[in-house]
Amino acid sequence: MKRTLVIGDIHGGQRALKQVFATAEVSPDDTLIFLGDYVDGWSESAQVIDYLIELSATNNCIFIKGNHDIWCEKWLRNQEIHESWYIHGGKETMESYQNHTDEDKILHLNFLESMPYYHIDEKNRLFIHAGYTSMHGPEKEFHDSNFSWDRTLWGNCACYG
């Protein structure tokens, strides 16, 4: 049976991610939609990115970019270290790259740069890390940062009942 599974905020927890996949019995028939924040928090951020790249070779995967991923992308691109990022998991992410080559880092940077900020599927369902503010939908959003930072949708949501 084909399923669509949605996974959010891994935050460098590769072991936990693998446990979730084992419990859910994820198969190559499943579509996996990831809502961002692959890095920062636990100590396996670089390994999570390695795993997701490998997973995308066997599964239909959609990777949405989160705010922590943007910070990591900036660090991988030009060694930019945002102070807030460093204290909210960036230090651990940087340490997770100690045994990765420059080529690995470039591969990870390309992976992060290729991610969209949101995805709308064939059933018109929106998958996004955070939100948007345009009254005309995410396609008309003026500020890309809202996709990974804005939490307005959560305040307006009367769902999950």
**Domain residue spans of the chain:** 4-154
CATH code for the domain defined by 4-154: 3.60.21.10
Q: Which residue has the higher pLDDT, 77 or 41?
A: 77
Calculate the CA dihedral of residues 67, 145, 36, 98 and round it to 10 degrees.
-40
Give the tokens for residue 150: 């804005």
Residue 94 DSSP class: H
Average confidence (pLDDT) over 146-160:
57
pTM assigned to the model = 0.87
Structure confidence by residue, pLDDT tens digits, 29-56: 999 999 999 999 889 999 999 999 999 9
- Listed range (61-65, 82-86, 98-102) with the worst mean pLDDT: 82-86
List 31's β-bridge partners, or say none.
Answer: 4, 60
Q: Is the pLDDT score of 140 beyond 90?
A: no
Q: How confident is the model at residue 128 (pLDDT cuts 50, 70, 90)?
A: confident
Q: How confident is the model at residue 129 (pLDDT cuts 50, 70, 90)?
A: confident
- What's the mean per-residue pLDDT of the chain? 88
Q: Are 124 and 62 in contact (CB under 8 A)?
A: no
